Structure 1
Amino acid sequence: MNKLTLKLCALLTALALIIPLAGCSGTDDNPSASNSNTGGETSSQDIYITEIMSSNSTGLTDADGEYSDWIELYNASSSRISLSGYYLSDNEQRPQKFELPAYTMEPGSYLVIFASGKNKMADSEIHTNFAISSKGETITLLKPDGTYASRVEVPEAASKDISYGVVLEGADAGKFMWFAVPTPGATNSGSHAQSIDGLQFDTPLLYINEYMNSNTYTLYDSEGDYNDWVEIYNPGSEEIDLSGMYLTDDLSEVDKWQIPGDVKIAAGGCLLIFLSGKDKKTDTELHASFGLSKTDEILMLSDKQGHKIDSVALKNLPDNISAGRNPQDPSVWEFYALPTPGAANASTGFSELMTASQLINRGLWISKVSATPDDDGYDTITLFNGTDSDISLAGYGISKSLADPYRYTFEKGAVPAGGTLTLYAAGLNNQGSDRNSIYLNFKVSTSGDELYLTDPNGRTVDAFSTGKLREGVSSGREGTTLADRVYFSNGGTYTGYIGNASFSTTGGYVQAGYQLSITAPSGGIIYYTTDGSEPNRNSSRYSGPITINKSTTVRAVVYADGMLNSDIRSCTLLIEDRHSLPIVCLSSDPDGLFSVQNGIFEYGPNANEDMSIEQLKDAPANFYRDWERQANIEYFTADGVKVLEFPAGIRIHGDYSRIEKQKSIAIQIRDNYGRKGVDYPFFEGNEVTHFESLLLHSGGQDWKWTKIKDAFISKMVQDDFELAVMDSQPCAVYINGEYFGLYYLREKINESYFETHDGIDADNVTIIKGNANNSAAHKSFRDLEKYAESHDMSTKENYQYLCEHVDIYSLIDWWIAASWVLHTDSGNIKVYAASDGSTKWRWVFYDNDWSLWKGNYDDPDYNYLYKMANNIGHGVGKRFRSILGYSLLQNSEGKQLFIERYAMHVQNALHPDRTIPLMESMFAEIESEMPRQRERWGAPSESTFNTYKKRLREALLKKPEMVKLNFMDAFGMSRAEVDELFTVETKYTE
């Protein structure tokens, strides 16, 4: 035996002679005889338990490669001892639970027995039929004489991979304690303590260096999410492998998240871990399986055995403020206004959280924002420099999205020390009139934007949420201390807006005498109007229910001391017979609608009804001015339920139709009115539900005849033709509580239409109307026409070039539709494409109030196909080019495609068996509304309406025959050929 073995043997023998082994009970040691005493003389032939592992995760493995718990036995005698007749157990009621095999232990030797539950002896290993609970239990070793050799009460294992064993030396000799480094099959040594807190583990030196638990703009991951994060720092001179280590925010679950393999920190380096809950590792990112909450109190990093490496008590931090260690003294924690995730804490740290939150410590920040145009017509953003030195903006970026921090990158400009610099958010990208000013390439939304200022190194130095803005109201920061947002208006400073007024009904149908109540948030005073004008402090002050005896629009606003006034809310109450259609109610200042001086529906002071259209445009009449009036729009379903209310601008729409009594009204849902678009399924079967503009169409010049023709023709080609058309829904319209007639709510053709229908960004759309030619994109279309005019389109190569730039089906369908309906206003032609050339040119089909006109549809000489086939132009005075259609027909493949597609449409979408039922259903839909339409506008009279309805039906029946004649004339086809091509049989007759 060596000296240490002799010492252990002597210690265990002495302990057995005096008291039961430390950690063993002093009574009931003999399971077969009560009150037996093991404290008497002990034979030198004794076997003892010297060490127990109850939570093995990375230590000793068995022959199966598994981390089984284990029990270490020691032969303290000077003789060989057979284990025959010895028993191990984890149940004092069953001390003979596992019988040890007849294995002979040499004197002074150790034996490790796996407490695995496998109950076997194989590969020179002994496995018990029980496992040890890490929660703690009693392990006994029973001798052949029925007395205990050892009885060890093992406490709950507070950490993995620590053992519970007997101390050999020092003041604690003879006691069972926890050991930091287990020694299976060897003498117990190293750090030991009564509890895990007293153990000293051989863990690497790593720091939790910085963390953020409220990240809204500082850093986003590859999926664009702003997760909380923690940074681990290696202050040593060698690389450290973190694989298998643990991170947790719950001390009762030390192994909450295990760092995956192949994660290392270089000497002096930092590792960023997103606390996102995504639990994944990519080439560039590491995500833990948990996130932080405001109630989390601690973050701890542990080694593979769960031994603490470092921990930090978490503070509830404001948005985008981090807490981190002082780089000179890591024992000192500070707060950072400019966090440095994944890098050394190089920015200025503050000992007080309030100080870190102050604007002055950001150096440069956004101090004021206005989203309503200044005197130059631009939104503005003001930067403030809180330092004592000028700050150059070269290389900085400003944007409305952290995904694109350098949307505008500064090439020039500086903010003076202690001063400001105003930026013009004009959407012009430095194309403004003042060469010394900075014009940004984006605008600010009145509904609220997030603005971000980023330095040349990619660090977000400030972020500002503008909040809701309106005319005369800007937002910003007051002073240089706290970063809270305030609002500025008319020289005053406000913390926010008072809430909106609430009505006792959402509006719609009520009985005469209805009592309308209006309520406001606490402290608010309500003012209201009943004529459609905008209420203010000079309007009627609400003091009690308002009696409604006729159809009325009530508009209300709320004022309160120290707050900005609320939005104006409208409530239209209808004391009317019910409509069978949806209802659109407009409310707007009547002066801007109907006064001689300012009314957009009126002739105005400089015009009258005796003037020609040219004179009215020159005067100009009010309705030919480019005037827009602010309005509030309410939309009710056919059963009278209000489903939408939104602010918008309204203006008169059309050209020649502006002189008509019943005028069309364009609705612009612009940001400067407080809302950029509405979302609602106005049009059945239309997948598009987002609209930034709409049209209340009177029917154009057909308003006094059929009302439906333009909408009907659009519906006719909507599903089967490759054309952009405006969907429609008939509705009853009220303005300021007065009935204004039957209209068709329509989509409006503009940039936002093509964004929602074709997926082309609205800023990347070029629309050409007629012969317009005023941009590079327009020129590219004209160049395409010139190419077609100057090249032999019968060749495959030249025809293919045309097909590469033009959606050939859209071109064909436009000519089919225009020739079918005899589009007399074909000068109102629009084509569109992506400005960057990523899409082909496509066609819009619209303005058909003069189409299918009596005298045209039954006149075989009125032949659009002839114009196309002979390239003689179309529209008024044949001023509009037909070269692309003509070029198509010069190629045999293109001509054949045109003829076959024409025949296909005639047999389907244009067949009378489809068009006549569609027409009849649209007439039936508006039938109940016509009496009120006539009463309001005097037209169309019942006889006129019926006459033009009959003519439209007649046109649809005659068109197949007219098309045959047109084909014979345009293409020299025989009667037999066109009869075979257009076989149209219908159940309808004239």
Structure 2
Amino acid sequence: SANTAASAALIEGQFAAQNATGVYISEFGATTTELPYDWVEIFNSTNQTVDISGWGLSDDPSHPRKWQFPQGTTIGAGEYMGVFCSGLDTYEDNTFHTNFSISATGGESLTLCTPEGEIFCRVPVLQQYTDMSYGRIYGQDGYFYFTDTTPRAANAMDGYRDRAISPEISVAGGLYNSGETLSVELSAPDGGRIYYTLDCSDPDENSILYTGPITISSTTILRAVSVKDGSLTSLPATASYLYDLHHTLQIVSLVTDPDNLFSDEKGIYTMGPNATSTYPYGSLGQGANFWMDWERDAHVEIFALDGSTVISQGCGIKLHGQYSRAEEQKAFKVIARSQYGDNRFRASLFPNRDYTEYQSFLLRASGQDTAQTFMRDSIITSFAADLDEGHVMYQDTALCVVYLNGEYWGCYNMRERVNTISIAQWEGWTSDPENIDLVKANTNVMQGSNETYEELRDWVEANGIDTDEKLAYVAERIDIKNYLDYVILQIYFANTDLLNVKKYRSAEEDGLWRWVLFDTDGGMVYIDQNSVGRMLNPAGAGRDNLTYNKILRALLKNEKVRDYFLTRFGELLVKWSAENVLARIDERYLALKPEMEMHYSKWPNQSTWEEEVQAIREWAMKRQYILFSKGYIQGMDASDPNDDLTDEEMQHYFGEAMAIQQAFQEGVSNGTISTDLPG
């Protein structure tokens, strides 16, 4: 059942004619649950060792030597050699990593060439699927999908030419009422046999064989596949029929095989066999199942309030977050990939965006604020819309209710994700998102490089920014208005988690570093916090002084920057008056209020939601009063009294904001302004 060196040497005439070397690409695959990278298998079908030093391996026939085997590389007679297509471009411990990855969507070719660039092996890349490979079968023309992947070993003799087409469902999933009985018909466009399930499990040939219409009169999840001889089983078609729902928010239905969630072996939502004994039961990549970076296939449908379908398609789901993974209500990443049907969600998903397609989004339970207001982060980041000068990227929010496998799963904040694809979308960049540098915290490189920022950091520490020439040097490397707007918002809303920073740049665009506003659940908590001094602490900003701030401190030593910063701070405090912040809180409160009783009956971790909302309303009412009356703004850099603002400067920069705040406090005192929750 395997290709041997002898039999492979008899490879069919057409292929042998274009490959006199006897060495060829015999199999390749995308990332699997066992292998963390795309991979290619090279086979030497001859009876002698072949020196492949300088041979090229590429995903671009016009650039056949895109990656080359190092000098001294040989492949033995009848030997299978594995190469990771990871983009890492390394060779260590006899392991090859190319400088490219394989397109999961297909549409390209893999090639092998001589050191002179003559291509002698070319393999088409079609749509790739998780835990499957694509390659040759001895004695047969063309290429096949393999469900039994065999990297660095002989290929299976059983393969599939293509994939069956998913069944069509006659009645769309959606919102229905008691008394509505549906007769649902299934059809296979390519004539395959149809099998279906009604328990959310993945259908296969052991499921119910479709023979006629299916009657549905209560909440039901229908999943169906088409099975056709010689073809891979189709991707599942899924429809959620949700009955008698009465929500005031849009509804998201997530459907996946229950084992993908709750089995010890592969369930992403459960403790599993390796959980540690105490909270939070592990950490990223170890311990409980929910700490693993596992992706499972699923189906997502979004239904608008009028019952119309916004999206309905296959997707991947992962858990999202840090310690929130250990909570009962967990957050999801929902990811579009071509292997599930389409690599984009093609719809308008967020109220303040005009985008009509997304690669992924979050279903977020509100992080550390889940058991409190359920709104801190989404409210705070919404104020980034006021940062027009700095153009600070933030995650837009759409409130929703989630049903998981047909079961009510509570309220969620549907959020944009922060990744290089969404960054390019936000900036309107047309260059390749893979060439964007993205850095988390101070130096944690998520993609690309942190080199130019580290060079700037070292230069600023050595030279300062006290002249126009030095300022111009810095302005060629970071978007100063973006950074200062980001800082002002973090100061005002007193975010305690300042280390959770993301910054990005694209050398193919203007090359400037910019900051993203995200994960502000730690804001609007401590009303009395001197967040100005905390941000400008010479030892470092934030908790344990871990957040790097020397570039910020140096910028504010420059008189031009200092004047701009204070002017901008005053302008934003006018926009973020107590009245305006209260209005934003109350708007979110009224949107959530009809849903929260049902939500907390599902997740009864606390029963004081309205008290928690009132607490952030109190914060909003008093925040500017505290900043002004306690001298937090006037004191600026507590380490340098020379940086204190004079009374005249306070009036110049903050006079309007102080007057608005004083009038608000007087209105509260004399009863003309109500401090009660609305509604």
Q: TM-score, normalised by structure 2?
A: 0.80
Distance 1:618 1:626 in 2: 6
Amino acid at match of 2:163: Y
Taking structure 1 as reference, are residues 604 and 878 closer, same or farther at Cα in structure 2, changes over 3 Å only?
Answer: same
Distance 2:106 2:472 in 1: 48
Match of 1:953 in 2: 617
2:501 is the alignment partner of 1:829: yes
Distance 1:893 1:645 in 2: 52
Match of 2:244 in 1: 576
Match of 1:656 in 2: 323
Aligned mate of 1:727, from 392, 396, 418: 396
Are the equivalent residues in 2 in contact too, given 1:414–1:421 (CA < 8 A)?
Answer: no
**Structure 1 residue 695: Cα displacement:** 1.1
Taking structure 1 as reference, are residues 623 and 474 closer, same or farther at Cα in structure 2, changes over 3 Å only?
Answer: closer
Distance 2:647 2:617 in 1: 25
Amino acid at match of 1:765: I
Distance 1:480 1:430 in 2: 34
Distance 1:827 1:875 in 2: 7
Distance 1:629 1:975 in 2: 60
Deviations 1:747-806 (A, max 9, x none): 122233333334364433333332445799446534533443343433444444333322
**SS of equivalent residue, structure 1 residue 928:** helix
**Structure 1 residue 552: Cα displacement:** 2.5
Taking structure 1 as reference, are residues 397 and 579 closer, same or farther at Cα in structure 2, changes over 3 Å only?
Answer: farther
Match of 1:441 in 2: 99
Taking structure 1 as reference, are residues 472 and 938 closer, same or farther at Cα in structure 2, changes over 3 Å only?
Answer: closer
Task: Give 1:862-873 correspondences, 5 Å limit.
Answer: 862-873=529-540
Aligned mate of 2:216, from 548, 552, 558: 548
2:269 is the alignment partner of 1:601: yes
**SS of equivalent residue, structure 1 residue 493:** coil
**SS of equivalent residue, structure 1 residue 494:** coil
Distance 1:429 1:792 in 2: 36
Aligned mate of 1:804, from 459, 463, 476: 476
Deviations 1:52-110 (A, max 9, x none): xxxxxxxxxxxxxxxxxxxxxxxxxxxxxxxxxxxxxxxxxxxxxxxxxxxxxxxxxxx
**Structure 1 residue 454: Cα displacement:** 7.5
**Structure 1 residue 733: Cα displacement:** 0.9
Match of 1:371 in 2: 30
Taking structure 1 as reference, are residues 402 and 555 closer, same or farther at Cα in structure 2, changes over 3 Å only?
Answer: same
Deviations 1:328-373 (A, max 9, x none): xxxxxxxxxxxxxxxxxxxxxxxxxxxx994444336755443354
Aligned mate of 2:85, from 426, 443, 447: 426
Amino acid at match of 2:421: S
Are the equivalent residues in 2 in contact too, given 1:395–1:455 (CA < 8 A)?
Answer: no
Taking structure 1 as reference, are residues 644 and 773 closer, same or farther at Cα in structure 2, changes over 3 Å only?
Answer: closer
Match of 1:845 in 2: 517
Aligned mate of 2:134, from 475, 491, 500: 475
**SS of equivalent residue, structure 1 residue 848:** coil
Q: CA RMSD in A?
A: 3.8
**Structure 1 residue 840: Cα displacement:** 2.2
Whose helix fraction is larger, Structure 1's or Structure 2's?
2
Amino acid at match of 2:111: L
Taking structure 1 as reference, are residues 527 and 719 closer, same or farther at Cα in structure 2, changes over 3 Å only?
Answer: farther
Amino acid at match of 2:403: Y
Deviations 1:515-571 (A, max 9, x none): 333222454222222232222222233333333343222222221222221112221
Are the equivalent residues in 1 in contact too, given 2:61–2:111 (CA < 8 A)?
Answer: no
**SS of equivalent residue, structure 2 residue 316:** strand
Amino acid at match of 1:450: E
Are the equivalent residues in 2 in contact too, given 1:478–1:486 (CA < 8 A)?
Answer: yes
Taking structure 1 as reference, are residues 413 and 527 closer, same or farther at Cα in structure 2, changes over 3 Å only?
Answer: farther
Distance 2:267 2:112 in 1: 48
Task: Give 1:528-677 correspondences, 5 Å limit.
Answer: 528-595=196-263, 599-604=267-272, 611-613=278-280, 620-670=287-337, 675-677=342-344
Match of 2:436 in 1: 765
**Structure 1 residue 744: Cα displacement:** 1.2
Taking structure 1 as reference, are residues 479 and 652 closer, same or farther at Cα in structure 2, changes over 3 Å only?
Answer: closer
**Structure 1 residue 690: Cα displacement:** 4.1
**Structure 1 residue 745: Cα displacement:** 1.2
Taking structure 1 as reference, are residues 950 and 447 closer, same or farther at Cα in structure 2, changes over 3 Å only?
Answer: same
Match of 2:160 in 1: 494
Higher relative contact order (CA 8 A, sep 6+): 2
Paired residues, number:
624
Are the equivalent residues in 2 in contact too, given 1:677–1:690 (CA < 8 A)?
Answer: yes
Amino acid at match of 1:624: W
Are the equivalent residues in 2 in contact too, given 1:425–1:441 (CA < 8 A)?
Answer: no
Task: Give 1:895-934 correspondences, 5 Å limit.
Answer: 895-908=562-575, 910-912=576-578, 914-934=580-600
**Structure 1 residue 710: Cα displacement:** 0.8
Q: Which deviates further from its counterpart, 556-565 or 766-775?
A: 766-775
**Structure 1 residue 508: Cα displacement:** 0.9
Taking structure 1 as reference, are residues 659 and 391 closer, same or farther at Cα in structure 2, changes over 3 Å only?
Answer: closer
Are the equivalent residues in 2 in contact too, given 1:363–1:386 (CA < 8 A)?
Answer: no
Taking structure 1 as reference, are residues 494 and 896 closer, same or farther at Cα in structure 2, changes over 3 Å only?
Answer: same
Match of 2:560 in 1: 893
**Structure 1 residue 915: Cα displacement:** 3.7
Match of 2:193 in 1: 525
Deviations 1:104-124 (A, max 9, x none): xxxxxxxxxxxxxxxxxxxxx
Deviations 1:155-174 (A, max 9, x none): xxxxxxxxxxxxxxxxxxxx
Match of 1:814 in 2: 486
Distance 2:73 2:634 in 1: 73
Match of 2:351 in 1: 684
Identify unmatched segments of 5+ residues in structure 1: 1-355
Are the equivalent residues in 2 in contact too, given 1:714–1:845 (CA < 8 A)?
Answer: yes
Deviations 1:649-696 (A, max 9, x none): 323322233333322222344566565443332123424444333211
Amino acid at match of 2:321: G
2:555 is the alignment partner of 1:883: no
Amino acid at match of 2:221: T
Task: Give 1:962-973 correspondences, 5 Å limit.
Answer: 962-964=626-628, 965-970=631-636, 971-973=643-645
2:18 is the alignment partner of 1:362: yes
Amino acid at match of 2:611: T
Distance 1:603 1:901 in 2: 48
**Structure 1 residue 412: Cα displacement:** 5.8
Distance 1:374 1:393 in 2: 30
Distance 1:783 1:370 in 2: 39
Taking structure 1 as reference, are residues 379 and 763 closer, same or farther at Cα in structure 2, changes over 3 Å only?
Answer: same
Task: Give 1:764-803 correspondences, 5 Å limit.
Answer: 764-772=435-443, 777-778=449-450, 780-803=452-475
Distance 1:625 1:375 in 2: 13
Taking structure 1 as reference, are residues 415 and 967 closer, same or farther at Cα in structure 2, changes over 3 Å only?
Answer: closer
Identify unmatched segments of 5+ residues in structure 2: 1-11, 149-156, 637-642, 668-672
**Structure 1 residue 607: Cα displacement:** 5.6
Larger CA Rg, structure 1 vs 2:
1
Q: Percent identity at matched positions? A: 28
Taking structure 1 as reference, are residues 935 and 946 closer, same or farther at Cα in structure 2, changes over 3 Å only?
Answer: same
Q: TM-score, normalised by structure 1?
A: 0.57
Taking structure 1 as reference, are residues 774 and 571 closer, same or farther at Cα in structure 2, changes over 3 Å only?
Answer: closer
Taking structure 1 as reference, are residues 896 and 581 closer, same or farther at Cα in structure 2, changes over 3 Å only?
Answer: same
Match of 1:466 in 2: 125
Amino acid at match of 2:109: L
Q: Which deviates further from its counterpart, 832-841 or 684-693?
A: 832-841
**Structure 1 residue 614: Cα displacement:** 7.7
Taking structure 1 as reference, are residues 518 and 870 closer, same or farther at Cα in structure 2, changes over 3 Å only?
Answer: same
Match of 2:416 in 1: 747
Distance 2:473 2:171 in 1: 61
